[in-house]
Structure 1
Amino acid sequence: MAMKPRKLLLKLVTGVLFSLLILSFAVWGIGDIFRGSGQAQAVAEVGGTTIEQRQFAQELSNEINSMSRRLGVQLTMDQARAFGIPQQVLERMITRAMLDELSSRLGMLVTEEQMRKQLLENPDFQGAGGRFDRNRFAQVLRFSGMTEQGFLARAGEDIKRQQLVAAMTDAAVAPESLAERLFGYREERRTADYLRLANADFRDVGEPDTAALQEIYDSAGGELMTPAYKRIALVVLSVAEAARNFTISDARVEEAFESRKDEFSTPERRTVSQAVLPDEAAAKALADRISEGADFFSAVEQATGRPPVDLGSVARGDLPEELAAAVFELEDNRTTAPIRSPLGWHVATVSAIEPGSVATLEENRDKLRQELAEAEAIDSVIDLANRFDETLAGGATIEEAAERLNQQARQVPAIDAQARTPAGALVEGLPSINEFLPVLNRTPVGERSTLTETLDGDYFILRVDGETPAAKKPLAEVRDQVVELWRKREQARLAEEKATALAERVRGGETLAAVAGAEGLSLQQTAPVTRFENDPQRTPSPQLSQQIFDIAAGEVTTLAGTGQAAFSGDGGPAASATLHFPQGVAL
């Protein structure tokens, strides 16, 4: 049981280790950022590393922009402070600096193979086929303002930090008493009997009067509102559009295919298990027993005292050269003779073969032609963007600049914060939404955005010429919606009142089973659940899983919800709370 508590404490122990690491910097020196040291440009000092205001401001700006893209609205600095973003950024920068100081003192190095693996496996640099795409790599670097050398240097530092953290956490041992208590808290399980009252079962709620409808209408929010719409002028400098102006010869396509043929081909893969033995004699004895008919797995366990090592599905390049040569000559379900490699003596078996495929030029001709054209177009679009900026700097409007450079300036008469028209359709012909929406939403009426580059290599600029504010739809137009909102509120109120009354009967001495029988309800039971259970097959609600740990055995409680799959309503009336799974009240 000792392993489970240790795993649960991984984050806790990591935090403790970093706290000790911070204390150790009392010797190395970590600047007091709150007291002020007279160095106006230093936010913090860690050993010989200074975190400058400029660096902090840049990283903070990047984090705010990243959060804004995820939320679809540009955060102000006050909102960023409310989210705790400045403190998070500073803590992250200090932690990085501490790890960098420590890795430097330990003389840690990163191999070329580690760097190559980091680069090829980074999903940000992979194309549609899941393979490394150099054009995408170049676009990401340009978008983030980094050189290739700068990226590789930063990646190397990241690898060293990861190794250092892994070394510290792997070696950590928590006090047994603390581990046991936390393990018990997390793994304690309880079972609850419950009744479910569905809101929808309370059908007879009557009809609302005028005052009730007006109350619901006045308190309702976004569901009865029309969104705000902006009227904008937009210019997009598109790589895909520019690529149409480039003609790529067949010779260039063929040359690119030959140099990248492996990228489009699928290597043969084999499912391999092996035993590694100390010497040739032991390997030969094992191979002989298997060739005489012994089962591979049984023979390996008998010879080594442990099961074979399952290498899984591997390509030729995944194995040492000596082992790969033998393994990839085997037929299915055959075993190799003893093989010597720098790792020892091997006996391996192949249990499955996945044939590879060799790509042909015809299969990839159009794709390569497009990629080559877009690679050429990227430089063209960058040049066009620079000239566009220069034209704007000379006093031209975006329409005038577009006309001079033979580009199109579009007028979008109405676009909301999610880039949709009043009809609800997504506005067509927009650049990448993740980059476009924050710019759209933070640009005020009468202002022009900066020329912005997207991750795809496109550029865009917009000007907001007008705005129609958000407004509540007239009551007459949304009366049916308001009536439905009133009905749901009444159903939730009746369900809660009924559940409270049933709970009082149980507290008065009736059993839950007797109440269920009298009311025609089904008595149900959860599976044994922890405080953190959220599987709907085991519990009707994550909130129920938590709540049954707040009461003693034999006590009764109620839990309300509307049945919508969401998390909200905390702190509000039970009848209006929105829980994840219940469609009524459980007790």
Structure 2
Amino acid sequence: MQAETGFHLILYLNSGQDDIMLRSMREGAKSPIMKLFLLFLAAGFALWGVGDLSGGFLSGGNNAVSAGDRKVGIEEAANEFERSRRVTGRGLNVGEAIQAGLLNEVIGSLARETLFGAEADRLGVTVTRDMKRDSIASDPQFKDELGQFAEGRFLQTLRSSGFTEESYLEKLSSALEVTQIIGPITDGGIFATATATQVSAYQLEQRQASYLTFTPAPENISAPQDSTLSSWFTERQSQYDVPDLRSFDVIFLSADRIQNTITPREEDIVSSFEIRRDDFVTPERRAVRQMVFDTEEEARAALSDVTSGTAFNDVASARLNWTEGDVTLGIVRREELADELAEAAFDAEIGKAFGPISSAFGYHIAMIDSIEAASDVSLDDVRPAIIAALQSEQAIDLIYDHVTKIEDAFGTGASLSEAAALIGTSVIRISDIDRNGLTIDGGIYQVEDANDLTSDTLFLGQAWALEIDEMSTVIESVDDSFFVIQPTNETASRTRPLNEVKVRAIADWTTEQAFIAAITSATEAMARGDDGFADSILTEPFSRSGAGLDHSASSLMAAAAFGQKKGEIQLVETGRDVVVIRTDEIMRADDKEAEEFAVRLLDGFNDLVRNDIASAMALSLSETHKLEVNAAPVQQALIGSLGQ
């Protein structure tokens, strides 16, 4: 069994669940390793059916997670949350990241990792230094243009992903333990290579086409005669029926709506700045070059060459066949290096080679090329960011205080308006919306204070489930918002006569006639064959999805072009205009590109199945090793660090 296979396997285990992570977090994770690591995080608590861990799943004592003899302490879990937040949740403060579910995801990842670690202990599974080294060295993400492992590229990738060498190696050890546990079940291909090859060739096909656009022009259509409009309306009268409509009184509480009304106290701003200072300061950074040898003797010989006057890069080239890119680590912070190397590198003088330093990769000889001194920030530099963070956190607290107050008020028989006055807000009136939150004519309800509500399916469901004048309980919605609703009136559906909707009917009739005219012109162009395409636009090659096709209706046009033979023509109604498209060229997939894509597809297909196997096994292991999870003290530690 090859170690690298297991490493990729565990990181892909939850590829089917990556929609759990926030889009804002995905945007912060650009590097290949972090993209994979996010999939590992995404195991979450869906595996055990646990959604909210604020009260703890099971008591873990002084630990966040425990299974068998493996344990994750509260501080360790909090540090993992912070690392993940800074890398994957850029722009989110601690409170926002917790609300977004990152803590649950991190604890879920640690729980899964701990479970397989406990099983590895039971089975006597071990991970050797050679296994880790082989896995890293064979990973294509860490190889240079010549296909050789480049430690500089490796460390740069880890750095951009928030890992140190030490923390990455710990994760890799866990991954390799899982490899050895589930490998016998999942080794070997599950999907046939031929299947992946066929799918690859199909997906990578391209088309080139010519098209004509016919845009409807309602302004060129004359107004209809009354008799024409009447006849047209009679056939479509049901489209103008008034649906059942209701009006409501609502108390709506939202942290977003009140955030900007909060003015944090100066002492809170100062305290928060001191606590969060590390988020804003820039620590000392050093430009480092290094070379790494298998033995201490080789490293000492290289150091001797450098101290004797041979250029550092020349020694690396002669002894290791390393390029300048391989040698260069870039500008790094202390915490981005393994402890052994960091201590020596940040004590070293500029331009003086030092070493050997022993690490998991071998024996390092390094040199510092430049030093960027640490830079601090003043409160005034970051005051707006501190205030915004405090406003967000305090708004959430205030909303929950308001909820408690109005619930108590309702318990004493207060009316909706009395409860609203108690917390200094007003009752919102929503008038005449249907079950979908739309107006009498099917438009979006345009009232600023109610826009979020009338598009909320939970709100609409409650709004139409209550009896008239019946008041709901306080209902929690999304993004720290709550509402209380009381239907006040209902109007039954009815049919409307033409004179009530005449303006709308004329506009609809005119639009329809303009489309008919555009379709007629398009059909005539199709009938003229090549002559009809004299003024057509020739596209660039495009894919089945429409990628490469510069048009707002690219997916519809691509579907038409791929659905017909070369030289055939099809009419496409896009909803805005009418397009006539002719397929001019059918471009088969490049053999090499198709082969490479087929390999990725095959890995993806197989990993999806492996994910199911691993999830089922983890569920069983949670009982075998008596999994205990306690996220509450981790959250308390994180919130406590903010002075809340």
The TM-score normalised by the length of structure 2 is 0.53
2:569 aligns to what?
Answer: 557
* C-alpha distance in structure 1 between counterparts of 2:483 and 2:475, whole Å: 5
1:399 aligns to what?
Answer: 417
* C-alpha distance in structure 1 between counterparts of 2:86 and 2:235, whole Å: 45
* Alignment deviations for residues 171-201 of structure 1 (CA, whole Å, 9 cap, x no partner): 65353333333333333x3544534253459
Deviation at 1:485, TM superposition (A): 1.1
2:129 aligns to what?
Answer: none
2:137 aligns to what?
Answer: none
* C-alpha distance in structure 2 between counterparts of 1:340 and 1:426, whole Å: 67
1:120 aligns to what?
Answer: 82
Deviation at 1:558, TM superposition (A): 1.5
1:482 aligns to what?
Answer: 508
2:472 aligns to what?
Answer: 449
1:462 aligns to what?
Answer: 485
- 1:274/1:348 contact within 8 Å kept: yes
Instruction: Pick closer, same or farther for the CA change 1:559–1:380 going to 2, 3 Å.
Output: closer
For residues 285-296 of structure 1, the aligned pairs below 5 Å read 285-286=301-302, 292=309, 294=311, 296=313
2:133 aligns to what?
Answer: none
- 2:556/2:572 contact within 8 Å kept: no
Deviation at 1:262, TM superposition (A): 0.9
- 1:391/1:401 contact within 8 Å kept: yes
Instruction: Pick closer, same or farther for the CA change 1:407–1:493 going to 2, 3 Å.
Output: same
1:493 matched to 2:509? The reply is no
Q: Secondary structure at the match of 1:282?
A: helix
Counterpart code for 1:324 = A
2:122 aligns to what?
Answer: none
Counterpart code for 1:410 = V
- 2:348/2:354 contact within 8 Å kept: no
Gaps of 5+ in 2: 23-43, 50-64, 117-173, 583-644
Deviation at 1:550, TM superposition (A): 4.3
Counterpart code for 1:317 = E
Instruction: Pick closer, same or farther for the CA change 1:270–1:209 going to 2, 3 Å.
Output: farther
- 1:140/1:455 contact within 8 Å kept: no
From 313, 322, 341, the equivalent of 2:340 is 322
From 146, 156, 177, the equivalent of 2:110 is 156
From 161, 179, 186, the equivalent of 2:196 is 179
Deviation at 1:256, TM superposition (A): 3.9
1:262 matched to 2:312? The reply is no
1:573 aligns to what?
Answer: none
From 78, 88, 96, the equivalent of 1:136 is 96
Provide the identity percentage.
Answer: 19
Deviation at 1:526, TM superposition (A): 4.3
* Alignment deviations for residues 523-554 of structure 1 (CA, whole Å, 9 cap, x no partner): 73542x443442225998334544455445x5
Instruction: Pick closer, same or farther for the CA change 1:205–1:462 going to 2, 3 Å.
Output: closer
Instruction: Pick closer, same or farther for the CA change 1:346–1:495 going to 2, 3 Å.
Output: farther
* C-alpha distance in structure 2 between counterparts of 1:257 and 1:331, whole Å: 33
The TM-score normalised by the length of structure 1 is 0.57
Deviation at 1:340, TM superposition (A): 0.7
Gaps of 5+ in 1: 1-5, 19-62, 67-91, 98-103, 504-511, 565-581
* C-alpha distance in structure 1 between counterparts of 2:444 and 2:451, whole Å: 18
2:293 aligns to what?
Answer: 277
Q: Secondary structure at the match of 1:409?
A: coil
Counterpart code for 1:497 = T
* C-alpha distance in structure 1 between counterparts of 2:482 and 2:46, whole Å: 35
Q: Secondary structure at the match of 2:503?
A: coil
1:534 aligns to what?
Answer: 547
For residues 339-418 of structure 1, the aligned pairs below 5 Å read 339-343=356-360, 344-348=362-366, 357-364=375-382, 368=386, 382-403=400-421, 405=422, 407-414=424-431
* C-alpha distance in structure 2 between counterparts of 1:526 and 1:374, whole Å: 47
* Alignment deviations for residues 188-220 of structure 1 (CA, whole Å, 9 cap, x no partner): x35445342534599987775556655766788
Q: CA RMSD in A?
A: 5.8
Deviation at 1:350, TM superposition (A): 7.2
- 1:526/1:538 contact within 8 Å kept: no
1:47 aligns to what?
Answer: none
* C-alpha distance in structure 2 between counterparts of 1:178 and 1:94, whole Å: 31
How many residues matched? Answer: 454
The structure with the greater share of residues assigned to helix is: 2
For residues 187-206 of structure 1, the aligned pairs below 5 Å read 187=204, 189-199=205-215
Instruction: Pick closer, same or farther for the CA change 1:409–1:323 going to 2, 3 Å.
Output: same
Deviation at 1:311, TM superposition (A): 5.3
* C-alpha distance in structure 2 between counterparts of 1:352 and 1:480, whole Å: 74
1:520 aligns to what?
Answer: 534
* Alignment deviations for residues 432-452 of structure 1 (CA, whole Å, 9 cap, x no partner): 769966325541253433213
* Alignment deviations for residues 131-156 of structure 1 (CA, whole Å, 9 cap, x no partner): 541x3356568xx9xxx8x8875453
